[in-house]
Amino acid sequence: MKLLSGNANHPLAQAIAQYLEMPLTEASVRRFADEEVFVEIHENVRGEDVFVIQPTGFPANDNLMELLICIDALKRASAKRITAVVPYFGYARQDRKPGPRTPISAKLVANLITVAGASRVLSVDLHAGQIQGFFDIPTDNLYAAPVMSADILARWPAENLMVVSPDVGGVVRARALAKRLNNAPLAIVDKRRERPGESEVMNIIGDVTGRFCILVDDIVDSAGTLCNAAAALREAGAQDVVAYVSHGVLSGGAVARVDASALTELVITDSIAPPEAVQQAKRIRTLTIAPLLAEAIKRIADESSVSSLFD
């Protein structure tokens, strides 16, 4: 088995390698003067089981091209099996046609990864479960819920917890976390989105009075939805509001928005390498999913069960 890292999240790849007690494969992933991506692998990978660790967050197109070219380089170097480890799967929000004459970009990206030569895909908290079906190769979708639930139970008062979904579409995810939190009660924020990137909170389904509310979501981008939901929960009588989100995209003024919001804390994972602004933010904390990914990689290499990670 070998581990290869692109440039998207080198610290996460190093943490995975450290957990597995093995070095990262020596390789160069660099740019030509016109920004073309060039990959050169400096070790023999013939007949090897290779895992390419490369989330496709910002800049999404550059990181996606790095992933595709790394896979192609490994295929042409006669690697036996190539697993694309994509902790954050970019373009996942474009998983259906929201209107006429629009693309399903998540399916296109799945096709690109498959055609490039990947044998299987390993990701974390895909935005929509059906994206697994977009691939014609085996796809493992890991969940950050075990990491989050352990942190919640260690840091916050367990007897007064209530899990809150920031929209109707996230109820299944919120219910799964609530089950891990000793079957905590569940509430839902009913919102109406007028245009992309903006949301308006309409109603709270459930009694949150005096509750310690845990907002849970898979992606925080502009943070508008989370901040509006936190404000609505406070107005409805919530004692405290903390958010746990798998992927901290945090684009534009999201960090400043979180710092000025009703949220006590926003907890994200390191599926996307946190920029300096996120690292210095007072109300944002990062959990590592390196042990989770490393254990899944080890089980895939050993041909043992990955789903038992979540039993």
Binding residues for Mg(2+), by number, are: 127, 167
> Position 40: which residue type?
E
Task: Provide the annotated binding site for D-ribose 5-phosphate.
Answer: 193, 217, 221-225
Contact 120, 139 (CB under 8 A): yes
Task: Provide the annotated binding site for ATP.
Answer: 34-36, 93-94
CA dist 288 and 271 (Å) reads: 8
- Active site residue ranges: 191
Task: Provide the annotated binding site.
Answer: 34-36, 93-94, 127, 167, 193, 217, 221-225
Query: For residue 47, is it left (φ>0), alpha (ψ between -120 and 50) or beta?
Result: left
Distance of CA 277 to the CA centre of its chain: 19
From 271, 310, 309, select the one nearest 123 (Cα to Cα).
Answer: 271
From 67, 30, 25, select the one nearest 46 (Cα to Cα).
Answer: 25
From 139, 137, 131, 192, select the one nearest 166 (Cα to Cα).
Answer: 192
Q: What angle do CA 28, 56, 51 make, to 5 degrees?
A: 55
